[in-house]
Amino acid sequence: MQHGMGIGVGAGAPGMQAAAPGAGGFKTIKRLGLTVIPKQEYVDFVNKFYPNNKITLEQAYQEGFQIYLVPNFEDTKKAEAYLKKIAPDILTKELDSWQVAPEQRPPLNIDTFAKFFEYDVSVGIFDTVNKP
């Protein structure tokens, strides 16, 4: 799990490409997978809105994590700027999943994102379906 940006890996234009021979016939998706992993602070925040139905961090983990496809950056500074740009959208999506009203939300910025979530970056993304 990453606490910093760490997205500055890989190269190539976004999109899909045909798999190399021997790659199982899968198409490679030329994106990075940003897995958003809740921290206890996020669970505590959400639980304020559900006092009779609180969840634990373990239960949040059992629900699974959201994965966001992001550009395949070569430059860490560009990757950090991109995460800063999309952090409000990721926070909105995550809070929408708990039906937290906009007026009850914390500031939607990179600081809140870092407070509420860790993340992991996956560099090998493969399409096993081979359909659009």
How high is the pLDDT of residue 130?
67
Mean pLDDT of 22-44: 89
Residue 7 domain-assigned (yes or no): no
Q: Which helix (H) or strand (E) holds 33?
A: strand 32-38
Query: Three-state SS for 68?
Result: strand
Query: Three-state SS for 126?
Result: strand
Locate all alpha helices (DSSP H) within the chain, ordered by sequence. Answer: 40-47, 57-63, 76-96, 110-116
Query: Three-state SS for 45?
Result: helix
Residue 5 domain-assigned (yes or no): no
Structural domain boundaries enclosing 48: 16-127
Residue 65 domain-assigned (yes or no): yes
Mean pLDDT of 40-59: 96
Identify the weakest region by mean pLDDT among 6-20, 52-66, 74-88.
6-20
Structurally, how many domains does the chain consist of? Answer: 1
Mean pLDDT of 44-71: 96
Are 46 and 98 a contacting pair, CB within 8 Å? yes
Residue 80 domain-assigned (yes or no): yes
Residue 3 domain-assigned (yes or no): no
Backbone φ and ψ for 56, nearest 5 degrees, come out as -100, 165
Q: How confident is the model at residue 76 (pLDDT cuts 50, 70, 90)?
A: confident
Residue 68 domain-assigned (yes or no): yes
Are 113 and 87 a contacting pair, CB within 8 Å? yes
